[in-house]
Chain A
């Protein structure tokens, strides 16, 4: 965790300020010959963390996510993606792809919509990186710009727009307040509590920093490793 960042949530760091003002090169050439301008944004005040060794692969988080946001149960509309291979062995049989609410979110930087970006931190909701569905033009640039596999941006085939995890800020069907400080459907619904929420920004240099061990005493009593 980057404790210093969590304490300064909502404020620009020196590095962000420098990047934002172009002192170290305002323009970056990104793979795919697209040009994106680094964009200084405040840190998100919330993050999901997951335990890959604990997930039972029930897909309930995916279906609940899609239901809470759109009223439709679906894998493809889910902001969290569980991939499992029935013919692989533990622990390589399951992976969980969550939006990292990146410090320097490429999906935000690449959003071409102006004067107000469609994809941006929401200052009223803990600077969660959100795609405004009214502004999104469906160009799919954020989809391709997300550096993780699978992309943490989903293509909504119904609306022909991009969507992403908003920590349940915009969840008309959740029935309770979402977002940082509120409920996240995937966290709450997971039968084995393999997903959790934190306000501490994980280490941005490490993919593993979003993976945590959530297996406690009960897990051990059930005969499964907590290591």
Chain B
């Protein structure tokens, strides 16, 4: 196998016996990288695929790179995928995924590894020290109990990495090594870089469902509770220093495509269009949810990014946090902050708190409102039905934020009940009704709704439910934000509804090419075959391009781009499309559609694992409130604008609020979806004929042996 883009080796960590071995990447090459490769490794190495809690010793957690990691592929070089059985979902914690950015995947590639497979459980805390091909297990007793930032700084000290940003070239051999290390004396390379460290904080050590993996100050893999998975394996951290490189198949083409991206698809610095409708083509700007604390700052990005979405400031807080973690506390801070500056400061310091505890703040997105209501209704608090001694009367203060996160990270106070899942806690507290009224808006698989309600933004909701988690996939979601913002703030609608859907339809190959109706989310079309096709397209696109090739979810796909006269974005383009970069790095000759097909294969492997875990179509339901109540309160805007066809077939931007989902019609939609996927419509299980067409007969064999293979239609 040509190793263009790949290192050729995957690191296998046997935590139980503290042993590191290398396995060949070649047998897993057909899965691309990232999620696909990780799912295949899980398939091979997880001996009990019926487990439904990621803290089970049989669970296998894979931390995976892609061939594009460590290269200049725009907004793809720095992502990293994590897979394994998760923690805290309801009713079953599925085989699931998360991802994070920064430098880790790049450094891992340069150290010579395409990924890491973590198996078993150490009998006491350890951290892993990877320097190029050398892997050392270190005792982590002195790191256990420390937050994620202290852990990383302590590991730097243990490695005797010099502080600051003007340090000499460091010969890896000169760094501190274990006395037991047998590699001493072998050749190491040189670097000026700090080690890239991925670690857990108290939330992970205590194996709570909201535990994240954290890297650097603000890169986190939140969903899935993989921090708890690491905690269960007594794995505190993995540190990587790499001095090698990644050979590209066609470096000239790679450089050229990158330059085209910058010069053609990204708005110019000289005459910037700050309101451009594009995902790839904007200038760097932090997507924090509060006004920046200062102009004394820089944009900060993952490796290889074309436009950084985070920032580092001179104020000493908020560095590298972005998006939801900067607003998890926002609605409550607004009640106490006296000034905008104070509002920003508390919110960004609250972001620092969740980063340090290694806590997935997204559970607070809708969850903290629920807890506050329980307190205000006299249900939760000192001496009440749900006892809590947290100072709820001070919610909105920084002090409360830390006390709350600490409790939930350490299984104290209400954290004791919530550590295994929020819906589980609701049931334990006798609050099942809250899932019917929508007081607890955890809409699919026991995880919170994302702000893009399933009753409005169909591909998000349907995709999450047909998958394993809140999809957190922003392929089409910018339509809502751009159009709604235009209506809300009187901004110009850069593209009319009909033109917008037609532009998308050009790039929705193969299932929905030339079919703009797939984006019609009107009441009349919301349960249609067309909507099933857009959900399929998104799942398959993401399983390969986003989750396996590791293109950034916030930058790709780039369907439309007002920086270009024809408004056509970079996605699937012949000069800087996703497949162009893939081929330049790997030497493959993929078409854009080939990538979608690999994604379909990966999606089928995922579904097979879910089926082995116990999935059946009868359990594939939204939370009851999605069917029983109407979507009437938006998180960002008082309306949810989306392109729809009216009674006369004319495309208009239309408000999707005010509707609920019809359960019977959604059941019919599920049947349509399963049929299109080639799955048994009675069970949702994959069929042999479908799997064998994708050269996945081995999956069909396993499903058949488990008695869970879909039936062929007679």
Contacts and interface: CB of A to CB of B under 8 A. Distances in A.
Interface of A: 53-60, 63-64, 66-68, 70-77, 81, 83-95, 97, 143, 149-151, 154-155, 157, 173-175, 185, 188-189, 191-193, 216, 218, 221-225
Interface in B241-286: 242-248, 251-252, 254-256, 258-259, 262, 266, 269-270, 272, 274, 283-285
B307 interface: yes
A6 B489 CA distance: 53
Contact of A173 (B70, B77, B252): B252
A73 B167 contact: no
A149 B244 CA distance: 21
Contacts of A150: 166-169, 192
A224 B297 CA distance: 6
Contacts of B106: 59, 75
Contacts of B628: none
B251 A67 contact: yes
Interface stretch (B309-317, B362-370, B633-641, B691-699): B309-317
User: Could you say which of B78, B110, B316 has the most chain A C-beta atoms within 10 Å of its C-beta?
Assistant: B110
A137 B71 CA distance: 30
A83 B163 CA distance: 11
15 contacts: A58-B308, A60-B303, A63-B70, A73-B72, A74-B110, A74-B246, A87-B153, A93-B165, A95-B165, A150-B166, A175-B252, A189-B72, A189-B255, A223-B295, A224-B299
Contacts of B166: 83, 95, 97, 149-150
B306 interface: yes
B593 to A, nearest CB: 27
B190 A73 contact: no
Contact of A74 (B164, B244, B262): B244
B193 interface: yes
Nearest to B271: A218
A89 B302 contact: no
A31 B682 CA distance: 80
Given A60-B72, A73-B72, A189 B258 contact: yes
Contacts of B528: none
B240 interface: no
Interface string B158-193: 000001111111000000000000000001011111
Contact of A85 (B165, B168, B169, B187): B165
A218 B272 CA distance: 7
A56 B298 contact: yes
A192 B303 CA distance: 14
Contacts of B255: 64, 67-68, 173-175, 185, 189
Nearest to A59: B303
Nearest to B190: A155
B59 interface: no
B304 interface: yes
B292 interface: yes
Given A85-B164, A89-B315, A73 B284 contact: no
Given A74-B244, A174-B255, A189-B262, 18 more contacts: A54-B298, A56-B301, A57-B308, A59-B304, A67-B255, A72-B248, A75-B192, A81-B192, A83-B166, A84-B194, A86-B194, A87-B217, A88-B312, A89-B314, A149-B168, A173-B255, A191-B262, A218-B283
B300 interface: yes
Given A83-B167, A87-B153, A71 B247 contact: yes
Contacts of B254: 67
Counting from the closest, the 3 A-B pairs by CB-CB distance are A74-B245, A86-B216, A173-B251
Nearest to A81: B192
Nearest to A68: B255
Contacts of B314: 89-91
Given A84-B165, A224-B297, A73 B246 contact: yes
B169 A67 contact: no
B298 A55 contact: yes
A36 to B, nearest CB: 20
Nearest to B106: A59
B35 to A, nearest CB: 22
B113 to A, nearest CB: 15
Interface residues of B, number: 74
B612 interface: no
A70 B245 CA distance: 10
B296 interface: yes
Nearest to A57: B300
Contact of B303 (A58, A83, A189): A58
B654 interface: no
A175 B71 CA distance: 17
A76 B189 contact: yes
**Chain A contact residues: helix, strand, loop or mixed:** loop
A13 B435 CA distance: 82
B51 interface: no
Contacts of A173: 251-252, 255
A75 B270 CA distance: 30
Given A58-B303, A83-B166, A68 B190 contact: no
B586 to A, nearest CB: 13
B468 interface: no
Nearest to A55: B298
A188 B72 CA distance: 13
B72 A157 contact: no
User: Could you say which of B189, B192, B242, B297 has the most chain A C-beta atoms within 10 Å of its C-beta?
Assistant: B192
Contact of A71 (B194, B248, B300): B248
User: Could you say which of A55, A89, A143 has the most chain B C-beta atoms within 10 Å of its C-beta?
Assistant: A89
Nearest to B310: A56
A75 B191 contact: yes
Contact of B306 (A53, A157, A191): A191
A191 B307 contact: yes
B422 to A, nearest CB: 30
Contacts of B347: none
B305 interface: yes
A54 B164 CA distance: 18
Nearest to A75: B193
User: Could you say which of B106, B251, B315 has the most chain A C-beta atoms within 10 Å of its C-beta?
Assistant: B251
Contacts of B242: 75
Contacts of A222: 274, 283-285, 299
A186 to B, nearest CB: 11
Contact of B284 (A68, A75, A191): A191
Contacts of A221: 272, 274
A164 B167 CA distance: 18
B149 interface: yes
Contacts of B297: 90, 224-225
B152 interface: yes
Contact of B192 (A74, A87, A97, A174): A97
B285 to A, nearest CB: 6
Contacts of B103: 59
Nearest to B152: A87
Contact of A216 (B187, B194, B269): B269
A51 B274 CA distance: 22
A154 to B, nearest CB: 8
Contacts of A191: 262, 266, 284, 301, 305-308
A189 B301 contact: no
Contact of B313 (A68, A89, A218): A89
Contacts of B312: 88-90, 93-94
Contact of B149 (A73, A87, A174): A87
Nearest to B272: A218
Contacts of A63: 70-72, 77, 303-304
A87 to B, nearest CB: 6
Given A89-B319, A193-B269, A83 B192 contact: yes
A76 B244 contact: yes
A187 to B, nearest CB: 11
Contacts of A57: 298, 300-301, 308
B153 A155 contact: no
Nearest to A173: B251
Contact of A91 (B71, B190, B298, B301): B298
